[in-house]
Amino acid sequence: MFYYNQLKILNQKKGDYGDMIVIDGVVGVGKSTLMEILEKNGYIAFKEPVTNNPILDKFYYDRERYSFPLQIYFLNERFKQIKKASQYPNSVLDRSIYGDVIFAKMLRDNGEMSEVEFQIYLDLFGNMMEHLKAPKLLVYLEISTDEAIKRIKKRGREYEQVVEREYWERLNQNYRDYFEQYSFSPVLKINVDQIDFENNLEDREYVLNLIEKSLHTE
């Protein structure tokens, strides 16, 4: 019900689409890889603001202390990013502001963000949504928790290795709950448990064809 209520904010502008693709999904699912593939196919890529994030690594070691500033940082950066991306035809983003509320809700539910901080975040989120168009397609990469953890370990970011399994399970469930209710824009859901579009050319072609087909479906 929470996600439904928040998505009503988005649905007020449903049908007002921008010329962009958004790729979303849990940590480790392959968002950046797919974005890079689309970039090689003519799209303009806008990467998630992770590399120069001054708070992210601290957050994983002390989530209660850094949860609110991290979420505000991400919200602000994603707002700036999607405003910029909306100025270009055929832009693609690996994650975006549209699903950002998932992380804030989890932090609130787990007692790592206070209710006052959460309400401030929601007010800011709602204000920002009033100024944005929906993507022409949102690609949701669905994955099992076991497979996500396997990929997270493989890429080896130190701050991700300290995260307990329970967190990844809750994150994955929240993503599924959110995208079961999301209808702000057209959605293409792809389960990637058995798909390796990074290294397998057949898998890559399969995913690209799904995206192309979805973009041309009335």
pTM of the model: 0.85
Residue 25 annotated as part of some ligand binding site? yes
> Catalytic one among 16, 24, 62, 94?
94
Residue 37 annotated as part of some ligand binding site? no
CA gap 30, 21 in Å, rounded: 15
Residue 145 annotated as part of some ligand binding site? no
Residue with tokens 């396997």: 150
CATH of the domain at 207: 3.40.50.300
Mean pLDDT over 164-190 rounds to: 90
CA gap 217, 214 in Å, rounded: 5
Domain hosting 45: range is: 2-215
Q: How confident is the model at residue 4 (pLDDT cuts 50, 70, 90)?
A: very low
Residue 146 annotated as part of some ligand binding site? no
- Determine the longest span between alpha carbons in the chain, in angstroms: 49
> Total structural domains in the chain?
1
pLDDT digits over 91-116, tens only? Answer: 999 888 888 899 899 999 999 999 99
Q: How confident is the model at residue 151 (pLDDT cuts 50, 70, 90)?
A: confident
Q: Evaluate whether 7 touches 23 at the Cβ level (below 8 Å).
A: no
Does the annotation count 94 as an active-site position?
yes
Mean pLDDT over 65-85 rounds to: 91
Q: What is the mean pLDDT of the chain?
A: 87
Mean pLDDT over 181-195 rounds to: 92
